[in-house]
Structure 1
Amino acid sequence: MDRSNKSKRTALAGILLANIAFTGSAFSGQHNLDYAYSAAATEISISTKTYNGQTDKVFKDALGRERSFRGFNVSGKVKLAQFGFQPFKNVEDARASLSLLGQQTGSNIVRYTLAWEGIHTAADTINYDYLDNAIAYMKEAMRNDIYVLLDYHSDLYSRHTFTPDSDNTGNGAPKWAVADINGKDNCGIPCKVTWSAHKLSDDAVRNAMRSFWYDHWVMDRHLAEAELYLPDTNTCADIKDGSTANSTTVLTANCNGQPGQQWHYQQDGSLYLAKDNSKCLDVAGARTSDNTDIQIYQCNGTKAQQFILDRRGRLHSALDFNKCVQNNNGNFKLAECSTSNTNQQLMLRDTATGKSLGEQLTYVQTAFVWQIGQVARYIKSKLTPKEFAQIIGLEPINEPFDGGIGQMSYKDFDNKILWPFYERVRAELDRQGWQNKEVFAEPMVFWSSIAGITAPATGGHYLDYQPGDGFVFTPHFYDQARMGVADLSVARNAGYFGNLDLIRDEARYLNLAPFLSEFGMWLEGYGHTDTSRVVNGTYQAMESSDRVHGKDRFVDFYTPLVSGTQWGWDYYYDNHYELQNGNPDNIKTQDDAWNNENFSVISHYGANYNVRQELVERAYPRAIQGDLMHFAYEGKVRDEGSETMTYHSIRATLADHFINKEFFRNTRFAFAAWRGRNSDAPTEIYLPRLMQSQNLVIITDKGIHQNLPLSTTPNQSNNEVMLSTDPHKQAGAGHLLRIWDDADAGENTSTMHFALIIDGNAGLGSGDLVKLQSAINQMLAQGKSPVYLTTDMTHGGYPDDKGSSNSYFSLINKNNGRCLDVAGGWTFNGTNVQSYDCNNSRAQKWFYEASTGFVRSRLNWNKCLDNGGQFYNNGKLVLWSCQNSDNMRWNITGNSLRPRTAHRMAVHAFGTGNSSNVGLWSYLGGNEQQWISAY
């Protein structure tokens, strides 16, 4: 059979397939851009996709397309009092900043930071001026086609546990929501190393956080003549035998309205006995062990005599907020606080009327949730339906930490503390007409910590139920190991696959869509803290993984993309004026002006980047017409030492042509693979400014496109590919690639599609592009990705990088399936060349030098394939020292290897067994003369 004719037919079929966009007859629909302006294109909800038995929650628009989000936190300025806890000074600055964000990065989402302190100025007061400004700023994002995730931003709960002289500060809760009983900053040395240590080592910060979780009374007034009533036993707290002596036990007795059962509850947490105002409720010996007596004792203002009430009626000791007063067989004792033990549930009751005083009090978490409802209702009333659709959801608390869980397990913390709070927020949003807006629920901040022994991971998979619709799993990821001393290695390729897979696993356990609402790295890092390496690696892991099929350097065929927002985008970087903790002698102006943070990717009011441009201007899929299988972007990002991190290439196999042939090493490209067709609206892939439109080569499963003009309207071709400037952005923005997958005959829900967008063709001719297209189609049909991980890997267990497309390869004979082999692995002149079982040894590796025609052996670079000038049938092939001779000059034509000066001849495998001879024979095109390159 004439194999050359078959090869021509295959190539012709590929060319016809590439041109189907212009000649196909199956297309009968209508492409237009009306979809982009429809309400359905803007409305986001949560849906599911399943591949190989694995189901994942994903974002989708009402057109049926899978949606992905990339953006930034805007901004850390909200932590500062300078502009009233707003991220912007005025609308003009918001417009400039957010327009720049859209133009330069193509972001389609911002995590817009709100300040509880700025909004909720008193327990019953909402600052609507603050909200009006915030809404005006959000509308500037929406004007740039950017979605908004509302983030109630808090760090260390509040700034009001700190003093004017504290080294650090917090942000979040207003002063009225931070009772004095919590104390003041007392962290010491650990917090001089990192401000985050306050979460573990600062009693005041921890108390304030626990106070929020327990929904404590805000201690905003004195309560006179109150009874401590126990509904479960219909009794009241009383003093034993009516004695007012020191150390008299407090017990339960029938309520009698007498002074021995009446208490004056002060704002400092003291409960004075009405019968003797010199005596106070007291924890005996200031001990915190279970069963410690509760007594009366001379009032002394110590923590042993301070108690704080929560909304359940529990009375917590200031010695340890995890300890509550409990009726223990008629005597009051100290015990671990319980959500279900009715012996801890007191009613603060008016002595004269018997009415509950507790119902009239303000509780901190309850007030916060009420405030969220007021804010949600007001924001909705001020937005058009389209603008409201651009609010994707609300994150009620940033980086929640436990504050100390006592005897409670972290499983209990999730089930009894954290998620009940999220459920309260969900219910309140539903009441205010936000049923279709997600609650972005963060896990406990240390759940996946890699900081080491200073802050070990608390773990996940704890929740006893799946939360259901209305929630998004919203973790953060920072490389605490490299930020500290737990990992001093340099982050290289695939460094964070495991970390992001952990996030995917937890999202699957909860049956929620994941969203990474914070990630990043401080600026000016170097070596193990290299900013570019850490951030670039995080983006890579948000898009790809390799854990399913093993460490062969190819990415997994199916990896759910994790949307997210990088920290941060601060328009005022290095231009702040913040009196830390109100101290005029401690003014912060530089960097982010908060606890020495230094993260903003822009400076000088957006005039400059603080990071590499290519680090933050990245391609990503905004909308996928079917189910996204995987995505990868090679951005050629430079690290802080100016070394380019080229982490990906395309390595493809085409039956009868080549195996694992590499393309586009050291080339910027984006690759997306998806399955099926769930919408008539097209796939949309954002392309950064760095990928200039005139240089793009776009290969899809159905077409090859070069020199695409920028268009404003579709041309109605079948399976159309359209390139335009990114809509709704200011001049100079990136580009939007739209790909219509039309309903062609023979396709079904399992049909695979792809788009490969290359910044230049890397020297490939049209025939090479057609073969590459066919190869990728074949690989996708087999459930394999062509995306290959190059250069040095962070972790072990990977094979060596196969190298570039110009590196060594094996030649596999199509007839016998064996490799072209140097007999015995010898390198002396005249060593025979034969067929042998492929074994990946150096004796079977060859390097083709196109300029000279030499086929060099990996056994010795200076040894070449030589025909000895025997340009006739049965001519021998041997290994010989490379020299300027036509005997050693070869052309690779298709799959045949031919002498450059005797093209009528070809390398021919004479037998099928091991050690069978290989020589020259007149070219016939048969399988004996077909050699498949395996790289």
Structure 2
Amino acid sequence: MDMPTIRARLLVVLAVLLGSLPVAGVPPAAAAPPSGSLWFDDPAVTVHDGRLTDAHGREIVLRGYNVSGETKLAENKGLPFASVADARTSAAALRALGGGNTVRFLLSWAYAEPERGRVDTAYLAAATDQIKAFLDAGLRVYPDFHQDLHSRYLFDADSWYTGDGAPRWAVDAGDYPDESCGICLFWGQNITQNEAVKRASYDFWHNAHGVQDAFLATAGKTLAHLRRHLSDDQFEGIAGFDPYNEPHAGTYDSGQTSRAWEKDVLWPFYERFRARMDAAGWRDKPAFVEPNLFWNANLDFQRQEGGLLDAGELGPRYVFNTHFYDQKAISGVFMWGKAADGQYANDFRTVRDRAAAARTAAVVSEFGHPLAGAVADKAPTVLKAMYQALDSRLKGADWWNDPAASGPVLSGSQWQWDIYHGRHRELMNGNPDKVRTEGDAWNDEDLSAVRLDDSGRPVLRQDARLLDRLYPSATAGTTVGFTYEDRSRDGSATLTWNPVPRSLPHVRQLVGSGQYGLLLWRSNGTAAPTELHLPASFPAASTTVVSDLGTVHAPPAYGSTTPVGVAPEPGGTGSRRLLLTAPDAGVAHFALVTNGATAPPADLLAAARSELAAWAARVVS
């Protein structure tokens, strides 16, 4: 028996002794340990049977943002924030406004090891303190050693572009040509067109001048520092570690394919990184490993075979970690219109299928779309379609007919969450004549979902209905299917891609023009409840739940005599969750959650429940 299972059983025994487990069908009362959290709040996650799970065997969904592209800049010396106070402000806003429960936290190799062989402990200490701000806000964290275009030190002071990642000494160790991307419309073209970037990347993967050895040594010291300076409770909230952002060979050896490069070069690197994790006390944490960044590109001429096809079964020590951006939409050339219902169902189906074949969980650790510029008008539909694809492998028009084909709900981190958006003062490539203040201050990007208003208060730059979403953060059993109709806006138009079918008239009447989510799951017998994040648009007084477990308008606080209740999310930021207690095993359950009704009559609730029960019996075998 593994330690998470032993711990889960001990918690159940303790809960029975404290009288907090249901007896004869009575739901549990909330048992509050000194920290104020509920007895089942345990942030530790593991990989089990192809899913992220917690100590109670619940399926976990990690949703949130990347914190943040500020790490790529020099103005705060490779840290996401100028101060721990700013980190706390950002964390609270991310939880309360953005609806996230997890962050991908960016780290810089250049600042962690500014001189070869010397790790800057002051940098690591500052990064650790900022990570603590997110952990203390109840957010899970997985750090990421970030790089783009290998290093800023490859680029001239007057260049159109810049990079981040490797320190100056690692660039100086190589004899690289003067950087040039030629006629490049997008910074990412440097990956395959800039000879300096290509050759430096090639050298890293082939450990020329010992640069990969140095990186891994610094990674090991970073891992050890975090383990040593986080409390045991804080370390529980570390979900894993992303070893290397968006890997690419730079240049392939003669006759080598992308798939062969992944097998012979990239995967051995991950095994070496995994060994550093184990040695530093991270044995129970998965490595969030990324394949060749072009493995799932949605432009045919850009796509390269990959997806760690030859790595075998990855779980439970690895998570399949990938990114997705709609390059067609970003180009402004290959996609003229806007995204539509089911736009990315096939792209995200590929992610689900690849993770399933590797017997591990999947996370889409970056996705997003520009919020300014020529293609910004596509952002509301592109982002809605991406979130839709994270929730289900079906488009909305098909969901009600076969929800069991939804597949697992995917974890994901939107790019990005940068409270300094539009307030930067970055000397691009150290050039005092090229001071960047607008947008993300990096290669003309503008993707941050948040900014500070004139009073210094965090505010969203995108529709809150899109970002602060209902989603199953912990499912006590196996998810059968999930959908969420956010009713987000594209300008003045409300986007409704998954209306309730006319064959369910009472459910349709109950939902009306409101938002709704519907979860189908099969219980696993744990006493811990199923949890769904409640967006701010779902205040308890306006929330209706229709479930086989109970039907209620304005659900009470969790711990009352109903199996449907509301409780705060961990961290004290004011965000809330819906808790559904089903202490049986192997039973199919459903729960509709909507804010579309005001004081619905009892007969409407009963009719809607009857409709949903009959529908669920038909679609769930």
Q: Is the 8 A contact 1:410 1:462 kept in 2?
A: no
Alignment partners' CA distance in 1, 2:509 and 2:430 = 60
| Correspondence 1:588-667 to 2 at 5 A | 588-604=436-452, 605-639=456-490, 641-651=491-501, 664=511, 666-667=513-514
What does the per-residue CA deviation read over 1:400-432, in whole Å, with 9 as the maximum and x for residues that have no partner? 112121420122111101111111111111111
User: Equivalent residue of 1:152, what SS?
Assistant: strand
Q: Relative to 1, partners in 2 of residues 1:137 and 1:548: Cα closer, same or farther, differing over 3 Å?
A: closer
Alignment partners' CA distance in 2, 1:466 and 1:531 = 36
Residue in structure 2 matching 1:58, options 42, 51, 55: 51
- Give, in angstroms, the shift of residue 443 of structure 1: 1.1
Alignment partner, residue 698 of structure 1: 545
Alignment partner, residue 186 of structure 1: 180
Alignment partners' CA distance in 1, 2:227 and 2:40 = 16
Alignment partners' CA distance in 2, 1:471 and 1:138 = 22
- Give, in angstroms, the shift of residue 653 of structure 1: 5.7
Residue in structure 2 matching 1:752, options 588, 592, 606: 588
1:520 corresponds to 2:356: no
Alignment partners' CA distance in 2, 1:769 and 1:548 = 24
- Give, in angstroms, the shift of residue 739 of structure 1: 1.3
Alignment partner, residue 287 of structure 2: 439
User: Equivalent residue of 2:208, what SS?
Assistant: coil
Q: Is the 8 A contact 1:571 1:606 kept in 2?
A: no
Alignment partner, residue 390 of structure 1: 237
| Correspondence 1:35-74 to 2 at 5 A | 36=37, 41-48=42-49, 57-74=50-67
1:714 corresponds to 2:559: yes
Alignment partner, residue 19 of structure 2: none
| Correspondence 1:273-288 to 2 at 5 A | none
What does the per-residue CA deviation read over 1:247-281, in whole Å, with 9 as the maximum and x for residues that have no partner? xxxxxxxxxxxxxxxxxxxxxxxxxxxxxxxxxxx
- Give, in angstroms, the shift of residue 468 of structure 1: 3.8
Alignment partner, residue 274 of structure 1: none
- Give, in angstroms, the shift of residue 120 of structure 1: 1.1
- Give, in angstroms, the shift of residue 550 of structure 1: 7.0
Percent identity among equivalent residues?
31
Q: Relative to 1, partners in 2 of residues 1:556 and 1:545: Cα closer, same or farther, differing over 3 Å?
A: farther
Q: Is the 8 A contact 2:205 2:266 kept in 1?
A: yes
User: Equivalent residue of 2:439, what SS?
Assistant: coil
Residue in structure 1 matching 2:532, options 680, 685, 705: 685
Alignment partners' CA distance in 2, 1:603 and 1:531 = 17
Alignment partner, residue 5 of structure 2: none
Aligned-partner residue type, residue 611 of structure 1: Q
* Alignment length (residue pairs): 591
Aligned-partner residue type, residue 600 of structure 1: S
Alignment partner, residue 405 of structure 1: 252
Q: Relative to 1, partners in 2 of residues 1:169 and 1:388: Cα closer, same or farther, differing over 3 Å?
A: same
Q: Relative to 1, partners in 2 of residues 1:25 and 1:468: Cα closer, same or farther, differing over 3 Å?
A: closer
- Give, in angstroms, the shift of residue 459 of structure 1: 4.4
Give ranges in structure 1 of 5+ residues lacking alignment. Answer: 1-23, 49-56, 218-362, 786-935
Aligned-partner residue type, residue 122 of structure 1: E
Alignment partner, residue 737 of structure 1: 578
What does the per-residue CA deviation read over 1:460-495, in whole Å, with 9 as the maximum and x for residues that have no partner? 463152234311111001110111122223211111
Alignment partner, residue 891 of structure 1: none
Alignment partners' CA distance in 1, 2:285 and 2:477 = 23
Alignment partners' CA distance in 2, 1:40 and 1:734 = 15
Aligned-partner residue type, residue 147 of structure 1: R
| Correspondence 1:447-466 to 2 at 5 A | 447-453=295-301, 455-460=302-307, 462-463=309-310, 465-466=312-313
Alignment partner, residue 143 of structure 1: 136
- Give, in angstroms, the shift of residue 703 of structure 1: 1.2
Q: Is the 8 A contact 2:523 2:583 kept in 1?
A: no
1:424 corresponds to 2:272: yes
Q: Is the 8 A contact 2:31 2:39 kept in 1?
A: no
What does the per-residue CA deviation read over 1:288-318, in whole Å, with 9 as the maximum and x for residues that have no partner? xxxxxxxxxxxxxxxxxxxxxxxxxxxxxxx
Alignment partner, residue 197 of structure 1: 189
Work out which structure has the larger RCO, using CA pairs closer than 8 Å and 6 or more positions apart in sequence. 2
Q: Is the 8 A contact 1:78 1:85 kept in 2?
A: yes
Alignment partner, residue 96 of structure 2: 103
Aligned-partner residue type, residue 184 of structure 1: D
User: Equivalent residue of 1:531, what SS?
Assistant: helix
Aligned-partner residue type, residue 222 of structure 2: V
Alignment partner, residue 6 of structure 2: none
Q: Relative to 1, partners in 2 of residues 1:685 and 1:403: Cα closer, same or farther, differing over 3 Å?
A: same
Alignment partners' CA distance in 2, 1:525 and 1:555 = 37
- Give, in angstroms, the shift of residue 582 of structure 1: 1.0
Q: Is the 8 A contact 1:651 1:663 kept in 2?
A: no
- Give, in angstroms, the shift of residue 675 of structure 1: 0.3
Aligned-partner residue type, residue 478 of structure 2: D
Alignment partners' CA distance in 2, 1:26 and 1:40 = 24
Aligned-partner residue type, residue 533 of structure 2: Y
Q: Is the 8 A contact 1:100 1:606 kept in 2?
A: no
- Give, in angstroms, the shift of residue 784 of structure 1: 4.6
Alignment partners' CA distance in 2, 1:584 and 1:757 = 53
| Correspondence 1:773-788 to 2 at 5 A | 773-784=609-620
- Give, in angstroms, the shift of residue 139 of structure 1: 0.8
Which structure's CA Rg is the greater one? 1
Residue in structure 2 matching 1:27, options 1, 21, 25: 25
- Give, in angstroms, the shift of residue 60 of structure 1: 0.8
Q: Is the 8 A contact 2:101 2:139 kept in 1?
A: yes
What does the per-residue CA deviation read over 1:870-901, in whole Å, with 9 as the maximum and x for residues that have no partner? xxxxxxxxxxxxxxxxxxxxxxxxxxxxxxxx
- Give, in angstroms, the shift of residue 547 of structure 1: 8.2
Q: Is the 8 A contact 1:652 1:775 kept in 2?
A: no
What does the per-residue CA deviation read over 1:364-406, in whole Å, with 9 as the maximum and x for residues that have no partner? 1111111111111111111111101111111111111121214
Alignment partner, residue 377 of structure 1: 224
Alignment partners' CA distance in 1, 2:23 and 2:142 = 44
- Give, in angstroms, the shift of residue 545 of structure 1: 2.0
What does the per-residue CA deviation read over 1:334-375, in whole Å, with 9 as the maximum and x for residues that have no partner? xxxxxxxxxxxxxxxxxxxxxxxxxxxxx1111111111111
- Give, in angstroms, the shift of residue 40 of structure 1: 7.1
Residue in structure 1 matching 2:359, options 497, 501, 511: 511
| Correspondence 1:200-599 to 2 at 5 A | 200-217=192-209, 363-406=210-253, 407-453=255-301, 455-460=302-307, 462-463=309-310, 465-484=312-331, 485-524=333-372, 529-546=377-394, 555-599=403-447
- Give, in angstroms, the shift of residue 183 of structure 1: 2.4
User: Equivalent residue of 1:704, what SS?
Assistant: strand
RMSD: 2.5
- Give, in angstroms, the shift of residue 693 of structure 1: 1.7
Alignment partners' CA distance in 1, 2:110 and 2:67 = 17
Alignment partner, residue 163 of structure 1: 156
Q: Is the 8 A contact 2:392 2:483 kept in 1?
A: yes
User: Equivalent residue of 1:200, what SS?
Assistant: helix
Q: Is the 8 A contact 1:652 1:772 kept in 2?
A: no
Q: Is the 8 A contact 2:400 2:501 kept in 1?
A: no
Alignment partners' CA distance in 2, 1:527 and 1:514 = 29
Alignment partners' CA distance in 2, 1:99 and 1:550 = 37
TM-score, length-scaled by structure 1: 0.60
Give ranges in structure 2 of 5+ residues lacking alignment. Answer: 1-21
Alignment partners' CA distance in 2, 1:608 and 1:111 = 20
Greater fraction of residues in helix: 2
Aligned-partner residue type, residue 267 of structure 2: W
Q: Is the 8 A contact 1:205 1:403 kept in 2?
A: yes
Alignment partners' CA distance in 1, 2:378 and 2:457 = 22
Greater fraction of residues in strand: 1
User: Equivalent residue of 1:379, what SS?
Assistant: helix
Aligned-partner residue type, residue 390 of structure 1: G
Aligned-partner residue type, residue 44 of structure 1: V
